[in-house]
Structure 1
């Protein structure tokens, strides 16, 4: 039995309640893991009760606060509890969050069952066998996803996590972001665009450890947040062609490149075929898994070409296979502009 439904007390009565009975296996924690920016993320938290998410859902064109709790239950059910003014809208997004409308896994599994499956390294085939409930989330909230990814541009893991936590808290100091419902301690709503714009410039560096280029790119996203979210809502999820078209549009935002777009759309739209080109680790790891040697972005795309339409599914399986990239030098040291 999962520890999530062993003995945890039921949370306070929600404003919206649903029980999902998915027609396919779904692993709630595994599916939602890409949305969590570290264990101390103020907006996504996995606890013994389930996975908590705070959101600003657009209702009649206005962003309203909501908190979600998704709890795996017996016989594959998922209980969805929601609180706040946008509780009904947030609860209604549960299937998308869990990637349930995505039928691409059936096509991927059909490839594995056929001759193409032998071309996939054995550790990845085993990872898929062990994780039948893995889905690609369609979290929406594209502007918020872009914000989290911008803070991951060309910095260390710790810098990225610290930057997101700090930005959420700085924005909360400007504009109250208390999350509705009985949330775990320390959880807050994602930052509202107007609050981000009001954060004093010096605090970006001294408190959030955000580099100047990141700050400029993030502010470009925030100034366009409403248009970005409307564009995201108009683009269907789990549609490779639609995701590619949306990616081309987002690349027009100054400071936003292919890596940032791919990472954001993987979370907001379940982009199954957008690979994170330009990543410091991914190309090396793909090369290592498929050939035993490192490769570059061009080599990675050649190796993943037989899996067109599913390339990000393959990358997710690499992460779940427990394979780690070989190291040939010291770890990258964090850049700290606060010293200059």
Structure 2
């Protein structure tokens, strides 16, 4: 509402709600926050906006020069909430975005709690459920939320390690992904998506994505049938900044011409 960004988070201090908006006159970001986690959110706003990101040494390739110039102020932020990034990534595994967000929305609305300070909004916002709440969701409710047993079991394995997972932002970024991948059901793609959001890793590429390799390889070379192996070779000169290439490619709006049928949407609730 009003051009502002509203965001809920289950912080280490408890649930919190924040509203951030850019002041057009001077470009500053104004923040309001509510709940037990209000101060935690306020303290981390600069990090969320990318204060800790260092793009020095990155040179965009010619195909992305215009995009990099257009988004020259873009920085990679970090939420510092690992489980809040990991569970949505698990729900996105091998399904369409529509299916994944149906499951996410259904589960958070039912098992989350109303965000402090959101009662005045047209629709109260919900806070991410605590690990112990995720652990108690019955199997039939996952099914009703269109989440198959493979993904739900991966979520349950992750929440059992919630405390140690939240510490990966303090370790080496390679070790962080390795730690995530020790959880059965969490692979290369899921680990990369998690650290991109939670720790702001500028080098984490979403390999094994349904479209990513084909899109970026086509952008760079014109080859319509790009593979992860080709993508890895193309990105090697940008080591340390490979996620920047991924995100700038997305921001460019450039898409490979579609010829194959779209991925089929399955309604797990009817199976």
One fold, TM greater than 0.5? yes
Superposition map of 1:9-28 within 5 A: none
Does residue 305 (structure 1) correspond to residue 240 (structure 2)? The answer is no
- How far apart, in 1, do the equivalents of 2:238 and 2:204 lie? 12
Q: Distance in 2 between matches of 1:84 and 1:336?
A: 37
* Equivalences for residues 49-68 of structure 1 within 5 A: 49-59=3-13, 64-68=14-18
SS at match of 2:10: strand
How far apart, CA to CA, are the structure 2 residues paired with 1:233 and 1:127? 29
User: 1:125 pairs with 57, 61, 65, which one?
Assistant: 65
Paired residues, what number?
A: 267
1:339 is displaced (CA, Å) by 3.1
Task: Using the TM superposition, give the Cα deviation of residue 295 of structure 1 relative to its aligned residue in structure 2, in angstroms.
Answer: 1.0
Cα gap change, 1:162 to 1:186, in 2 (>3 Å): farther
Instruction: Indicate if the aligned counterparts of 1:170 and 1:199 stay in contact, CA closer than 8 A.
Output: no
Give the SS at the match of 2:72. Answer: coil
Quick one: distance in 1 between partners of 2:5 and 2:270?
Answer: 38
**Could you tell me how far 1:121 is from its partner in structure 2?**
3.3
Measured on the aligned residues, the alpha-carbon RMSD in Å equals 1.4
CA deviation string 1:162-220 (max 9, x = no partner): 11101102313xxxx110114631411011111112222101112x1111111111111
Which TM-score applies when normalising by structure 2?
0.94
- d(CA) in 2 for partners of 1:54 and 1:75? 26
Question: Residue 75 of structure 1: SS of its match in structure 2?
Answer: coil
Residue in structure 1 matching 2:252, options 300, 309, 321: 321
Is 2:53 the counterpart of 1:102? yes
1:243 equivalent in alignment to 2:197: no
- Counterpart position of 2:265: 334
The aligned residue for residue 210 of structure 2 is: 280
Unaligned runs of 5+ in 2: none
Aligned equivalents of 1:276, 1:202: Cα separation in 2 = 31
Matched, 1:83 2:41: no
Aligned equivalents of 1:323, 1:121: Cα separation in 2: 14
Once residues 95 and 143 of structure 2 are traced to their aligned partners in structure 1, the CA distance between those partners, rounded to angstroms, is 14
The aligned residue for residue 170 of structure 1 is 110
Q: CA deviation at 1:266?
A: 0.3
